[in-house]
Amino acid sequence: MAELVFFSGTMDCGKSTLALQMNHNHSARGRQGIIFARHDRAGASTISSRLGLKAEAVEVTDGFEFQHYVVQLLSSGGKVDYLICDEANFYTAAQVDQLARVVDELGIDVFTFGITTDFRTRLFPGSQRLLELADRVEVLQVQALCWCGARATHNARTVGGVMVVEGPQVVVGDVAVSPDEVGYEVLCRRHHRRRLTSATARAAALSPDVLPFEQA
C-alpha cells in the first residue's frame, strides 16, 4: 500500500542526503520517481546535501499543484512510482493535502523531508499538516548535536552568532556561516530556551563576571 511518510529533524541532520539516497535506491530498482524541492540553499530547481550530493528537482511554488502535475504526467503516458519532496516545511497546507491525495487516489508513495519547527519553535504550515496527515513520521537516526553535546532538537537563527527571535519565518540560510551573516545553529531545548549559542556560551565562559571573587 502506498504511504505518505514525513522524515523530520532539525537542520543539518541529513534529510536531503537521505532523500537523495532513497531516490538512488528506488531508481536503481527500476522505479520511476520525481524529486521536488523548495527554496534549496543551492538555488531553484535543485536538491542539495552538505555531503556534496546534488540533483535536479521540480521547484514547488505557492500555486503549484501536485495532483494536477502527476495526473498530467500519467495521462501523457509517464510512469510515476514515488515522489521525493524535500524542504516540505515550506509547502503550503493545501499542497500537503494534495500529496495525501496522490497517495490515496493514485497509489503513489510520497516521501517528504523537512524541519518541523522554525527559529521560534513554531511549526511550519507544511510540517504541521504533515504531522496531521502522514502515515508515518520518521525521526532521522543521525543526531545533530548542540554545542554542549546533547541532542539538538531546535533550530536557532543567529546574527553574528547571537540568537534572534524576531523576523520573518522564512529566511533561507545555512549553519556555520561567517560571523556577520544571518545563519542558523542547532541547539538542545535547554540552550534554545536560554538563547545560549556556541558563540554566546564561549563569550560567557571568557567573561571576567564568571571568574571567582578574590577573598579579602
Ligand X SMILES: Cc1cn([C@H]2C[C@H](O)[C@@H](COP(=O)(O)O)O2)c(=O)[nH]c1=O
Minimal distance, residue 141 CB to ligand ADP, in Å = 10
The stretch near ligand ADP (CB under 6 A) out of 5-13, 25-33, 103-111, 126-134 is 5-13
Q: Which of 56, 87, 185, 214 is catalytic?
A: 87
Q: How many CA atoms lie within 13 A of 181 on its CB side?
A: 11
Instruction: Report whether 171 belongs to an annotated binding site.
Output: yes
Q: Which helix (H) or strand (E) holds 194?
A: none
Number of residues in the chain: 216
14 lies in the binding site for ligand ADP (CB under 6 A)? yes
Instruction: Report whether 172 belongs to an annotated binding site.
Output: yes
Q: Spell out where 21-174 has E strands.
A: 33-37, 46-48, 54-56, 58-59, 82-85, 109-115, 136-139, 154-159, 162-164
172 lies in the binding site for ligand ADP (CB under 6 A)? no
11 lies in the binding site for ligand ADP (CB under 6 A)? yes
Does residue 181 have an active-site annotation? no
Residue 118 interacting partner from ligand ADP, ligand X, none (CB closer than 5 to 8 Å by kind): ligand X
Q: 162 is written with which cell numbers?
A: 547571537
Q: How far is CA 160 from the centre of its chain?
A: 23
Instruction: Report whether 91 belongs to an annotated binding site.
Output: no
Closest CA to 94 of 71, 123, 119, 60: 60
Residues that bind ligand X (CB under 6 A): 11-12, 15-16, 41, 115, 118-119, 155, 157, 169-173, 184
Instruction: Report whether 139 belongs to an annotated binding site.
Output: no
The stretch near ligand ADP (CB under 6 A) out of 10-18, 156-164, 181-189, 199-207 is 10-18
Residue 49 interacting partner from ligand X, ligand ADP, none (CB closer than 5 to 8 Å by kind): ligand ADP
Q: How far is CA 39 from the centre of its chain?
A: 11
- For the CA atoms of 133, 131, 170, 118, the dihedral, rounded to the nearest 10 degrees, stands at 170
Minimal distance, residue 52 CB to ligand X, in Å = 14
How many residues bind ligand ADP (CB under 6 A)? The answer is 13
Integer Cα distance of 36 and 79 in angstroms: 16
Task: Report the residue from 6, 34, 37, 49 that binds ligand ADP according to the rule CB under 6 A.
Answer: 49
Annotated binding residues for substrate, written as ranges, equal 170-173, 184
- Annotated catalytic residues are 87
